[in-house]
A and B are shown apart, each in its own frame.
Chain A
Amino acid sequence: MNLTKDRIYDLPDTKAKDQELKLEKKDFGILKPWKPYQRFLFRIAFVFFLLMSIPTSSSWYQHLFQMDWTSLHYRDLYDLARFSSGFSWVGNHVFGSNLHGYANWVITFLVSVAVAILWTVGVLALKKERKEYNILYYWLRVIVRYRAGIGIIGFGFTKLFPVQMPYPSEGLLNTAFGDFTAQKIFWLSIGIVPWYQVFTGVVELAAGTLLFFRKTEALGAALLISALGTITYVNFAYEGGVHVYASYFTLYGLFILGYYIPRLYRLLILEKVTTPVDYFPDLGKTWQKAIRYGLKIIVIGVFLVWLFYLQFVNFLYDPYKQPSIAGVKELRGYYEVVEFKLNGETVVPSPDEVQRWKEVTFEKWSSMTFTVNQAQILDLSNGGGSPMRDINRTFEITGVAGGRKVFFYEADTINKVLYLQNKNVAGLGRRNSEPDPNDTRIVNASLYPDDWIPEYSRDLIGDEIPKIHPLAQSTRRKIEIPREKQWEVPREKLILNYRAENKGEKVILQGTNEKMEQIEVHLKRKKKDYLLSKSSLDAGKYD
């Protein structure tokens, strides 16, 4: 491969060029052969960043070849951009500890050192030691910056179209500050100001885009380090749980910026004349150009243009962290419980009382919430992931205490019946945990028969898949919804007839609760003037 130095040495005459070149050789050192330790360190870095940039789970490859490019969901591309990597075949623990999730990095690093030793011994034995790795270093930076760029763009779009940190639901707005986890408080504090979330998305997208081009990679890396360095710390401080992946980008940014540090140091700290010398392969042949521009266009086309469109559709019709199907219109709002009857007997409010519902909310989507004066098993996760079914979208319940219960409902609006199921399934068999058979939720779930929704209502409720806008009905939705139904866990249920008077100013709910007891609840809508002002950016469509 030829090296082109012309773009750097654009001085007018050859003499000056030669002088400059001599100066470089003497002072800057890049043209000099690398020292043995530099070559050894490079070999470690090469193996390490290569291992960290290659997807290691078979499901990533499966997904790559199975996804339907004619009907994509934003998550299809997001999943391509986000994957687990590193040397993961010997487990993820070092001396019995996962090192806060960093054990994989340590293992990968140790493997890289071992390979670098073999590599060094090998080239010495074969007497094929190179003087430098300038070109390989260039290609390694290409891999690193594209990996980092694509990865961060996947995240950036969920903020540019603010869905990663949703605006609080009615239930969340009425939960006390002390009943949230730190993670929830931070995520909500971004969620209440969608335009700020857009800004953070712009920062991430700018970093990713700048990394796609050699001339701007240093700026992209600097931006990536500052943004993701902060996010790493946020995840530690607020227990966000994404610190490893955030620091992954920081590390990648540091590696790229590391290339520029010597010249910046020389220019800015030593204040010496600095002429940067860069090596890159001459890709001048037509076929080389075709591959180079072809790949670039594909990456930019898929991850900047197509993903932009898909995320926009997601924001409009199917914001992935909140349910996307509209709730019953006349019921929406925040309600006071005026009267609560259990098995025909009125339950009066008192500080020790545990049955009576308080603070009922009906969301604009198909959720009903209320609080009871009773401890609940909590879901402390972030409420993320990529569930397609509304029932599995749990942002409104995760990290929330205060006795709040959240129910997904299906409404038979002709017979005015709600069929409700508890959205909180923490510890009920998801995430590889064994469910506790004494869990009251499992005991309660068994009280209702399998065909608890009668045929006539089932028909009126209809299929879940086509209930959102056709543009958002991706192949992923069509495949995943039946699959999620197969993975269902036992859920508490309620069946409630509803009667809404005066457009829902007064609502009477009557039916059976989680324990199959008869209840009657009289609700009065309370006009809430929240101190938060609603943003002009509002995800989802619930008309």
Chain B
Amino acid sequence: MVFERWASLSVKSPQFSEVNELNVEIIPVKNSQRNFEAEGIQGWEIYSYESDDNSPNRLVLHTRKTPKKIRLTWDYEQIDGNRLILNGANEQGVNFKALLVPIEKKYLIEEAFKSGRRSKLSL
């Protein structure tokens, strides 16, 4: 699962096999229509999210990849600093509870630029 710097999150799962192959250049005005991150990929679902004004720990999500837009609500709870517990229902209406542990992912493209192609890099 990935949280972007902007209000998108993605979940990796083989069930998201559908592909949004919009192969045209569009210049969307609204944030909700800016869909580059969701196009031409499979194995992930990309959601835009916003907080719910009425309940502080609730995310309201909208699927971005599948043509049929689905609205979901997930509750989160932060425990011991940086771990999260997510509570909600998926697209099929099945309830789930997930424990999220952050991974400090180092990307090779960045590490290799930092150290140079002749360096001895371990990753």
Q: Footprint of B on A, CB under 8 Å?
A: 178-183, 185, 239, 241, 351, 375-378, 380-381, 399-402, 426-427, 529, 531
Interface contact A179-B107, CB-CB below 8 Å: yes
A182 to B108, CA, bound (A): 8
Question: Taking A351-B103, A381-B117 as contacts, is the C-beta distance between A182 and B122 under 8 angstroms?
Answer: no
Interface contact A351-B107, CB-CB below 8 Å: no
Complex interface residues of chain B between 28 and 62 (CB less than 8 A to chain A): 40-42
User: Which one of B19, B103, B109, B116 lies within 8 Å of A182 (CB-CB)?
Assistant: B109
A427 to B19, CA, bound (A): 41
Give the residue among B17, B105, B109, B121 with the most A Cβ atoms within 10 A: B109
A427 to B112, CA, bound (A): 16
List 18 A-B residue pairs with CB atoms under 8 Å apart, sorted by A's residue number: A178-B107, A178-B108, A180-B109, A181-B108, A181-B109, A182-B109, A239-B113, A239-B117, A351-B101, A375-B123, A377-B120, A378-B123, A401-B108, A401-B123, A529-B17, A529-B42, A531-B40, A531-B41
Q: Report the minimal beta-carbon distance from A425 to chain B, rounded to whole angstroms.
A: 13
Chain B residues within an 8 Å CB radius of A427: 120
Q: Report the minimal beta-carbon distance from A173 to chain B, rounded to whole angstroms.
A: 12
B95 within 8 A of A: no
B118 within 8 A of A: yes
Question: Taking A180-B109, A239-B112 as contacts, is the C-beta distance between A378 and B101 under 8 angstroms?
Answer: no
Interface contact B122-A378, CB-CB below 8 Å: yes
Question: Taking A181-B112, A239-B113 as contacts, is the C-beta distance between A380 and B121 under 8 angstroms?
Answer: yes
B119 within 8 A of A: yes
Closest 4 CB pairs of A and B: A178-B107, A401-B108, A401-B123, A181-B112
Q: Report the minimal beta-carbon distance from B101 to chain A, rounded to whole angstroms.
A: 6
Minimal Cβ-Cβ distance residue in A for B120: A427
Q: Report the minimal beta-carbon distance from B72 to chain A, rounded to whole angstroms.
A: 24
Chain A residues within an 8 Å CB radius of B112: 181-182, 239, 380, 399
Interface contact B117-A183, CB-CB below 8 Å: yes
Chain B residues within an 8 Å CB radius of A378: 108, 121-123
Using A376-B122, A380-B121 as known contacts, list a sample of 19 further A-B pairs with CB atoms less than 8 Å apart, ordered by residue number in A.
A178-B105, A179-B107, A181-B109, A181-B112, A181-B117, A183-B117, A185-B109, A241-B117, A375-B122, A376-B123, A377-B122, A380-B112, A380-B117, A380-B118, A381-B117, A401-B108, A401-B111, A426-B120, A427-B120
A503 to B119, CA, bound (A): 43
Minimal Cβ-Cβ distance residue in B for A178: B107
Give the interface size class of chain B: 20 to 34
Q: Report the minimal beta-carbon distance from B39 to chain A, rounded to whole angstroms.
A: 11
Q: Report the minimal beta-carbon distance from B55 to chain A, rounded to whole angstroms.
A: 29
User: Which one of B40, B105, B107, B119 lies within 8 Å of A380 (CB-CB)?
Assistant: B119
Minimal Cβ-Cβ distance residue in A for B21: A531
Q: Report the minimal beta-carbon distance from A171 to chain B, rounded to whole angstroms.
A: 15
Minimal Cβ-Cβ distance residue in A for B101: A351
A427 to B122, CA, bound (A): 11
Chain A residues within an 8 Å CB radius of B116: 239
Q: Report the minimal beta-carbon distance from A118 to chain B, rounded to whole angstroms.
A: 38
A182 to B109, CA, bound (A): 5
A377 to B122, CA, bound (A): 4
A351 to B40, CA, bound (A): 28
Chain B residues within an 8 Å CB radius of A241: 117
A102 to B111, CA, bound (A): 25
Chain A residues within an 8 Å CB radius of B111: 401
Q: Report the minimal beta-carbon distance from B86 to chain A, rounded to whole angstroms.
A: 16
Give the residue among A181, A399, A427, A529 with the most B Cβ atoms within 10 A: A181
Q: Report the minimal beta-carbon distance from B29 to chain A, rounded to whole angstroms.
A: 28
Q: Give 1 or 0 for each of B66-106: 1 = CB within 8 Å of chain A CB.
A: 00000000000000000000000000000000000101010
Interface contact B108-A179, CB-CB below 8 Å: yes
A178 to B113, CA, bound (A): 13
Q: Report the minimal beta-carbon distance from A289 to chain B, rounded to whole angstroms.
A: 50
Q: Report the minimal beta-carbon distance from A103 to chain B, rounded to whole angstroms.
A: 16
Q: Report the minimal beta-carbon distance from A440 to chain B, rounded to whole angstroms.
A: 11
A15 to B119, CA, bound (A): 71
Q: Report the minimal beta-carbon distance from A526 to chain B, rounded to whole angstroms.
A: 8
Minimal Cβ-Cβ distance residue in A for B40: A531
Chain A residues within an 8 Å CB radius of B107: 178-179
Q: Report the minimal beta-carbon distance from B75 to chain A, rounded to whole angstroms.
A: 23
